[in-house]
Amino acid sequence: QDVPPYTEDCRSGTYPPSGPTYQGNIPWYTVNLDQAPRERWQKIIADKKQPLTAMIQQIKDLVKFFFHGEKLIDLVDTKLPALLGNLPPPFDEEMKGIAEASGLPLGEVMLFNIFYEVFTV
């Protein structure tokens, strides 16, 4: 159907995935739960640092757009990390490790992790 809502008849023969709706396989990683929480995500973050930085920049841009200015992001960077200790283990330490490995401010890593909850409005 070429006008909204762009419905179509039930597809068939799409598996194994190929064609324009398939963008590739998702890469596999191992996270060792025996490691210290700060170290668990380092390999993944080393590989995904650039797209993670781009994603968080986009969230910051949206926050700035919706709230007209930098003030809220300043609060995220300065005040949110102080609340990290209230998160249950091992999530607090894992986020610290992600911030260290990515070079991103801890508050912004926290913002990314709570974004799904906030978005349920």
Partner 1 sequence: CTSVVAEDTSGKLIHARNMDFGLFLGWDVKNNSWMVTELLRPLAVNVNFQRNNKTVFLSTSFAGYVGMLTGLKPGVLTLTMNERFSLDGGYIGVLEWILGIRQGAWMSFLTRSVLENATSYDEAKTLLSKTVLLAPAYFILGGNKSGEACVITRSRQSCLDIWELDIQKGQWYVLETNYDHWKPPLPIDNRRAPAMKCLNRTTQKNISFATIYDMLSTKPVLNKLTTYTTLMSVSESKFEAYLRDCPHPCMPW
**Which residues contact partner 1 by CB under 8 A?**
1-2, 4-17, 20-34, 41, 44-45, 47-48, 51-52, 54-56, 58-59, 61-62, 83, 86-88, 91, 94-95, 98, 102, 109, 112-114, 116-121
State how far the Cα of 107 lies from the Cα of 109, in Å rounded to an integer: 5
Stated as kind and residue range, the H or E segment containing 74 is helix 71-78
**Amino acid at site 88:** P
Least separation in angstroms between CB 77 and partner 1? 15
Judge whether 100 and 38 are in contact, CB under 8 Å.
Answer: yes
The residue (of 5 and 68) whose beta carbon lies closer to partner 1 is: 5
